[in-house]
């Protein structure tokens, strides 16, 4: 009898601080929700906290009518700024009634009615980064709130977290979501400060690996206030190219929301998109769909590159070589295919003359190898969407500064 009472006491534990509730805790993330890198749209990069019902509905409409949804983008995620500054008297979060006059449920129902999925943002700390109520001490209550609303994705940030440890805080929220019972992708956003790739696999489906992205090729943007920087897309890739073995199906290294269509030119946007696909990063657009140029749309919906990102092996690519500003990035794909991307990291035009036969590409982390002396591969140019010869001949091309040439190699 004693034993039974002890087992019962251990399985029903009082969780959260000051919530006055007792729950049966279920541990571990929802498995299998992100077997390929999640794709969607997030409000933050373009809109900050200036978000509302109209923006969500228009974005959802265009996501479908433009072909973005057909290309695979299916999550609409509202980032910081969706709540009021205080919780209600029961401690529940309140969607801002000015921004969302019909409530959040109406917005979510609309997104769902379009065949899309919906996500929200909060923070592990006492307040979000923009000063709205954080989840600390309300983990189980907020998880029930999200489950009841019917959201599909939660991005969980790391501001105002003095005195708590990341692994514990994210584990608590992960368990809270699981306990609430509605399958929700859990997106960790603690900027890579506490190496989430080392402990995040049972906790979440993806984790940010760096501070915020900045719409530039390779710059560091130092913020005037506080001691932090935002990073050009190649800075993020370079910073985290060596943690590839931690990424894979249902536990992705998240290189951040994209800046395609924001402040870079189309050449740089093409490179940015190619590199996100080479890294098997989640593909979350961060631009204003209502003002999207046809070039931006074409970049974001490049089916061949998306197939590289979404390849079922789920392997993050790596830098094979770099010489005089010309880099070669490679990614093993299923069925013995490879993606090979030439990137001109320099400020001057370059000539590529790549003699395949002199190279054997070895992926030591995952055990793949491409030996061009023993296997001939057909080449497909993924931006031109056409055949580009085979590996018997040298690959030769001119490549502009900051441009890419992305190939699929088919044995
Ligand atoms: C942090 C995150 C961003 C965004 C903002 C919102 O900086 O890294 O992606 O969510 O907070 O305040």
For residue 387, the enclosing domain spans: 318-410
End position of a domain, from candidates 255, 288, 310: 310
The verdict on residue 7 lying in a domain is no
CB atoms within 10 A of CB 388: 15
Looking at the fold, whether 281 and 382 belong to one and the same domain comes out as no
Q: Which backbone phi and psi does 50 adopt, to 5 degrees?
A: -85, 75
Q: Are residues 219 and 323 in the same domain?
A: no
How many domains, the chain?
A: 2
Distance CA 275, CA 348 (A): 20
Work out the angle between the directed axes of helices 166-180 and 139-149 (0-180°, nearest 10). Answer: 40
Please tell me the distance between residue 134's alpha carbon and the centre of ligand 1 in angstroms: 13
Which residue is closest in CA terms to ligand 1's atom 9?
A: 212
Outline where 222-314 has alpha helix (H): 233-239, 266-278, 294-300, 303-309
CB-based pocket (< 6 A), ligand 1: 44, 79-80, 121, 128-130, 157, 189, 191, 212
- pLDDT in tens for each of the 411 residues of the chain? 444 444 333 333 444 444 444 557 789 999 999 999 999 999 999 999 999 999 999 999 999 999 999 999 999 999 999 999 999 999 999 999 999 999 999 999 999 999 999 999 999 999 999 999 999 999 999 999 999 999 999 999 999 999 999 999 999 999 999 999 999 999 999 999 999 999 999 999 999 999 999 999 999 999 998 889 999 999 999 999 999 999 999 999 999 999 999 999 999 999 999 999 999 999 999 999 999 999 999 999 999 999 999 999 999 999 999 999 999 999 999 999 999 999 999 999 999 999 999 999 999 999 999 999 999 999 999 999 999 999 999 999 999 999 999 999 999
Q: Is 21 exposed, middle or buried (0-12, 13-18, 19+ CB in 10 A)?
A: exposed
Please tell me the distance from the alpha carbon of residue 288 to that of residue 345, in angstroms, as a whole number: 27
**Pair (144, 290) in one structural domain:** yes
Residues constituting the chain = 411
Separation CA 111–CA 92 (nearest Å): 23
Asked if residue 26 belongs to a domain, the reply is: no
Active site residues: 157, 212
Residues 67 and 200 in one domain: yes
Q: How many angstroms is it from 293 CA to the middle of ligand 1?
A: 26
Out of 310, 337, 364, a domain closes at 310
Instruction: Ligand 1 pocket test: pick from 41, 42, 44, 161 the residue with the most ligand atoms within 8 Å of its Cβ.
Output: 44
The domain boundary, picked from 310, 341, 359, lies at 310
The answer for residues whose C-beta is within 8 angstroms of residue 338's C-beta and 6 or more apart is 330, 331, 332, 361, 370, 377, 408, 409
Residue 5 lies in a domain: no
- The CATH number of whichever domain residue 109 belongs to comes to 3.20.20.70
């Amino acid at each position: 009898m004693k034993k039974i009472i002890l087992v019962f006491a251990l399985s029903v534990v009082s969780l959260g601080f000051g919530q006055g509730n007792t729950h049966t805790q279920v541990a571990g993330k929802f498995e299998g929700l992100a077997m390929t890198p999640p794709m969607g749209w997030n409000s933050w990069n373009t809109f900050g906290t200036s978000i509302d019902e109209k923006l969500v509905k228009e974005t959802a409409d265009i996501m479908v009518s433009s072909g973005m949804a057909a290309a695979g983008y299916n999550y609409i995620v509202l980032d910081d700024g969706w709540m009021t500054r205080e919780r209600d008297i029961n401690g529940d979060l309140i969607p801002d009634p000015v921004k969302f006059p019909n409530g959040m449920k109406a917005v979510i129902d609309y997104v769902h009615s379009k065949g899309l999925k919906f996500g929200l943002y909060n923070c592990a700390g006492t307040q979000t980064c923009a000063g709205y109520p954080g989840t600390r001490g309300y983990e189980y209550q907020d998880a029930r709130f999200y489950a009841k609303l019917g959201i599909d994705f939660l991005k969980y940030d790391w501001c105002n977290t003095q005195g708590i440890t990341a692994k514990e805080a994210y584990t608590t929220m992960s368990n809270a979501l699981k306990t609430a019972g509605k399958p929700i992708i859990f997106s960790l956003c603690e900027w890579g400060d506490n190496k989430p790739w080392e402990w995040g696999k049972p906790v979440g489906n993806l984790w940010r690996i760096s501070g915020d992205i900045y719409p530039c090729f390779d710059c560091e943007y130092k913020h005037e206030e506080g001691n932090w920087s935002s990073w050009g897309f190649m800075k993020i890739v370079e910073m985290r190219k060596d943690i590839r073995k931690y990424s894979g199906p249902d536990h992705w290294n998240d290189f951040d929301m994209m800046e395609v269509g924001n402040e870079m030119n189309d050449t740089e946007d093409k490179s940015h998109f190619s590199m996100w696909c080479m890294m098997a990063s989640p593909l979350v657009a961060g631009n204003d769909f209502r003002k999207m140029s046809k070039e931006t749309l074409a970049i974001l919906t490049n089916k061949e590159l998306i197939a590289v990102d979404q390849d079922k092996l789920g392997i993050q690519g790596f830098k094979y070589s770099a010489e005089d500003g010309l880099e070669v990035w490679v990614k093993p794909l299923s069925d013995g295919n490879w993606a090979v991307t030439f990137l001109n990291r320099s400020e001057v035009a370059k000539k590529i003359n790549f003699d395949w036969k002199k190279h054997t590409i070895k992926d030591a982390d995952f055990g793949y190898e491409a030996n061009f002396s023993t296997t001939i591969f057909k080449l497909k140019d993924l931006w031109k969407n056409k055949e580009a010869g085979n590996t018997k001949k040298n690959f030769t091309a001119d490549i502009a500064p900051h441009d890419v040439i992305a190939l699929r190699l088919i044995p």
